[in-house]
Structure 1
Amino acid sequence: MVAGWVLVIDCTFLIAADKINFGTVVPFLIGLIFLIHAFCWSKIQSILSNHRSLRKLWKILWGAFGVWLLSFILFAYNLHNQISEVDENYEKVEAIIILGGGIQNGIPTPTLASRLDAAVPLIEQQPEAVVITSGGVGVGETRSEGEAMAQYLHALYGIPLDDIYQEKKSTSTEENFLFSQKILADKQVSLDDPIAIVTSDFHIPRSKAIAEHQGYTNLVTLASPTPLATRYNSWFREYFAYISGWILGEY
C-alpha cells in the first residue's frame, strides 16, 4: 500500500505540473493498481477463488510484472553506474551540440534550462567552437526548441545570436544528431572532430550511443544534473526510450 501511495501522489503532482509522459502516467497507473489490490484484496481473492481461469491469468500477469520490474531495476542500476562515469574531459572541441528537452509557452523547461546552463561555461571557454541548439516545434508550441534555446543563451548570458546555429526541425534524439550534421558540414566540422554533446545526465548514455551509430567518433559528454523531484520518473521514461530506440535501430 505504501508503494502505491508514493507512486500515485508523486505522479499526481508531476502530472498537475503538466509533466505528462511515460515517466509519470505509467507509474501512476501501477500505483493505482497497487492501491486497488490493497483496498479490495479480500474481494479480489473471493472472485479469483471461484474462477480458476481468472486466477491463473492473475498469476501470469503478476509474474510478468515481476520479470518486467526486475528488468527495470537492472536498467536503473546500470544507468546509475553510467551516469557516474560520464566523460568530463573538456579539452578543445570543434562544436557543441545542446540537445532539446522541451519548452512550455516558448520558454525552456527547467530540464532544458539546466542543459543550457551547463553548456555556458564550455561555450565561454571555447568561443571558436560551433554552438548548435537542436530541437524542433513541439505539440502545442509555435516556436522551435532550437530558437527558444538560442534566445535563452542570449538573454541570460549575453551570447550573440549570430554565434548560435539553430537546428529547428528535429523531434527526437536521433534527429538532433542527424539534422545537426548539415550545420557541422557547412562549418567544415567533421564527425571525426571532437564534438561535445550537452544533455541531461540520464540521457547521456543513449544519446552518445545514437550519435556514435551515426558516425560521430570523437564525442565529449557534458551532463546537466536532474533534480531529485523528477530524477526517477526521468529514468523510467528513459527505460522505454531505450526499448523504442532498440526496436527502431537508432543505435
Structure 2
Amino acid sequence: MPVDYVVVLGAGLFGDQPSPSLHYRLQKALEYTKKHPHVPIVVSGGQGPDEWITEAEAMECFLLQNGIEAKRIIKEERSTSTKENLIFTKELLKHDINTKKPTLLIVTSEYHMFRAKFLAKRNGFIPYGKCAATPAYPRYLKPLYYFREYFAVIKSFFFD
C-alpha cells in the first residue's frame, strides 16, 4: 500500500539505545521503507528524564546505521505522549495538510495501534498501521500493556 509518510512512534530508550519495543518498531519500519525507497520517515519521540538523547535522535541513528538516507528522515523531538506524537507530526507536515489529507503508515506496537490510528484521524491524517511485536519477556507485562491501553483509549476519546 503506498503512503505519503511512515511514522514510527517512540517507545523509550535505555540511555541512548532503543528499548526492545522501539527496536521491534524500527525493524518493522525498515521492512516497509526498504521496499518503498521514496517514502519519507517521521521518527517521533522526545526525551524522557532517564534518556540521554531524544527518542527521535536514537531512531534516526538506527535508521542511518541500517542504510536509510538522512534526507528521508524527519525528526519530531518534542513529544512526550501519543497525542503529542500526532500533533507535532502534523505541525511538521503542515505543508501537506493544507492541500490534502496525507496518508500515514503508523508503526507501533499491536496493543497501541488502535489509539494511534484514532488520534491520527483526529489530526487530519488517513492512517494505516504496521504492528510491531511486543517483547515476550517478562511475560506478565504484556497483559498490563493492554490493560493500561484500555484506559488510555477511553481518556483519548474524551480528552485528546
TM score, norm. by length of structure 2: 0.89
Q: Give the counterpart of 1:195 among 87, 97, 104.
A: 104
Q: Which has the higher contact order (CA 8 A, sep 6+)?
A: 2
One-letter code aligned to 1:192: K
Structure 1 outlier segments of 4+, above 6 Å: none
Matched positions, count: 156
How far is 1:233 from its partner?
A: 2.0
Q: Aligned equivalents of 2:52 and 2:155: distance in 1?
A: 27
Q: Give the counterpart of 2:130 among 201, 217, 222.
A: 222
The residue aligned with 1:210 is 119
Say which SS state the counterpart of residue 93 (structure 2) adopts: helix
Q: Say whether 1:239 aligns with 2:139.
A: no
Q: Give the counterpart of 1:134 among 27, 32, 44.
A: 44
Please list, as runs of the form range in 1=range in 2, the aligned pairs for 1:62-141 lying within 5 A after superposition: 91-141=1-51
Give the conservation status (yes or no) of the 8 Å contact 2:107–2:130: yes
Q: Deviations over 1:125-165 (max 9, x none)?
A: 1111121000001122231100011111122x121223211
How far is 1:237 from its partner?
A: 2.0
- Summarize the Cα distance change of 1:105–1:202 in structure 2 as closer, same or farther, 3 Å threshold: same
The residue aligned with 1:153 is 63
Q: Aligned equivalents of 1:123 and 1:198: distance in 2?
A: 11
Give the conservation status (yes or no) of the 8 Å contact 1:151–1:161: no
Q: Aligned equivalents of 1:236 and 1:152: distance in 2?
A: 30
Q: Aligned equivalents of 2:80 and 2:88: distance in 1?
A: 10
Say which SS state the counterpart of residue 181 (structure 1) adopts: helix
The residue aligned with 2:88 is 179
> What is the root-mean-square deviation in Å for CA atoms of aligned residues?
1.7
Greater helix percent: which structure?
1
Give the conservation status (yes or no) of the 8 Å contact 1:197–1:222: yes
Q: Deviations over 1:13-68 (max 9, x none)?
A: xxxxxxxxxxxxxxxxxxxxxxxxxxxxxxxxxxxxxxxxxxxxxxxxxxxxxxxx
Q: Aligned equivalents of 1:179 and 1:105: distance in 2?
A: 23
The runs of 5 or more residues in structure 2 that have no matched partner are none
How far is 1:236 from its partner?
A: 2.0
The runs of 5 or more residues in structure 1 that have no matched partner are 1-90
TM score, norm. by length of structure 1: 0.58
One-letter code aligned to 2:93: L
Q: Give the counterpart of 1:164 among 73, 85, 91.
A: 73
Q: Aligned equivalents of 1:145 and 1:212: distance in 2?
A: 23
Which of 1 and 2 has greater Rg?
1
How far is 1:191 from its partner?
A: 5.6
Give the conservation status (yes or no) of the 8 Å contact 2:20–2:135: no
Give the conservation status (yes or no) of the 8 Å contact 1:137–1:145: yes
